């Protein structure tokens, strides 16, 4: 199955307002949104969750820790490239970004607790052991943070899987942060 990367001109009428808003927000239309535009439901849901996350209790750096942890764990080269670029824009420390891209523990204790929670969520399919939840609370996170993490996990799982199925090419705007999936390199 070959997925089309829609533009405003090729997308359905129902997807066009979301594509317009996305282009205004980012200054260009990311290929992911072009793929999602095939389904007004998918593109609107993705954009809606992104908008809702503007109210997240997680800082922009913490949001990128979550997004990059999900995306590296799911081996999504597109999302790792895109979120590495965003991570630099929100001034994530370079050592943190490098460790996330290499799937290593973080030297920042609080950010590493967040990374560990995300890995536990993914590994246990949401059935997170109580001790993992207590570790994240001890690091200073609350129930609201945990729910915001789950929202980001859902968003990134959607985009990771879309990119896997559609083989979404990385936008030139993210090319400096391209990343090779370990699964793709082996597979």
CA distance linking residue 89 with residue 184, whole number of Å: 27
CA distance linking residue 129 with residue 113, whole number of Å: 14
122 burial type by CB count under 10 A (0-12 exposed, 13-18 middle, 19+ buried): middle
**Which pLDDT does position 49 carry in this prediction?**
97
For residue 117, give the H/E element and its range. helix 109-123
**Which pLDDT does position 55 carry in this prediction?**
97
**Domain assignment of residue 116, yes or no:** yes
* 100 plus 63 within the same structural domain: yes
- 133: which 2 tokens? 């939840």
Per the CB < 8 A criterion, the answer to whether 141 and 59 are in contact is: no
Among candidate residues 54, 82, 101, the one where a domain is terminated: 54
* 103 plus 42 within the same structural domain: no
* 82 plus 156 within the same structural domain: yes
The full DSSP string for 156-184 is HHHHHHHHHHHTPPPPGGGGGG----HHH
Domain limits for position 174:
58-180
* 83 plus 138 within the same structural domain: yes
Backbone angles phi, psi at 105, to 5 degrees: -60, 155
* 100 plus 173 within the same structural domain: yes
CA distance linking residue 112 with residue 96, whole number of Å: 9
- Given pLDDT bands bounded at 50, 70 and 90, which one contains residue 184? low
**Domain assignment of residue 7, yes or no:** no
* 48 plus 63 within the same structural domain: no
User: 């095939």: which residue's tokens?
Assistant: 38
CA distance linking residue 128 with residue 147, whole number of Å: 13
* 73 plus 41 within the same structural domain: no
Q: How many domains does the chain have?
A: 2
**Which pLDDT does position 186 carry in this prediction?**
45
The 10s digit of each residue's pLDDT in 115-167 is 999 999 999 999 999 999 999 999 999 999 999 999 999 999 999 999 999 99
* 123 plus 174 within the same structural domain: yes
**Domain assignment of residue 3, yes or no:** no
The pLDDT of residue 29 is above 60:
yes
- Look up the pTM and report it: 0.94
- Region 36-62: what's the mean pLDDT? 98
pLDDT over 70, % of the chain? 97
What CATH code is carried by the domain that includes residue 96?
1.20.1290.10
- 50: which 2 tokens? 């992104």
Q: Quick one: which of 7, 174, 163, 177 has its CA closest to 70?
A: 163
**Which pLDDT does position 187 carry in this prediction?**
42
Per the CB < 8 A criterion, the answer to whether 6 and 37 are in contact is: yes
CA distance linking residue 158 with residue 45, whole number of Å: 10
């Amino acid at each position: 199955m070959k997925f089309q990367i829609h533009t405003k001109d090729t997308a359905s009428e129902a997807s066009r307002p979301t594509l317009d808003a996305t282009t205004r927000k980012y200054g260009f239309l990311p290929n992911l949104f072009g793929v999602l535009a095939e389904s007004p439901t998918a593109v609107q849901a993705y954009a809606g969750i992104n908008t809702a996350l503007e109210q997240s209790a997680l800082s922009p750096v913490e949001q990128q820790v979550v997004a990059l942890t999900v995306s590296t764990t799911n081996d999504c080269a597109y999302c790792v490239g895109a979120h590495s670029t965003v991570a630099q824009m929100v001034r994530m420390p370079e050592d943190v970004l490098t460790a996330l891209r290499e799937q290593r523990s973080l030297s920042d204790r609080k950010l590493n607790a967040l990374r560990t929670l995300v890995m536990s969520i993914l590994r246990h399919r949401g059935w997170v052991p109580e001790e993992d939840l207590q570790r994240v609370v001890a690091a200073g996170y609350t129930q609201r943070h945990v729910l915001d993490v789950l929202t980001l996990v859902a968003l990134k799982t959607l985009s990771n899987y879309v990119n896997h199925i559609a083989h979404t090419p990385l936008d030139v705007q993210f090319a400096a942060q391209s990343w090779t999936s370990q699964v793709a390199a082996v597979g």
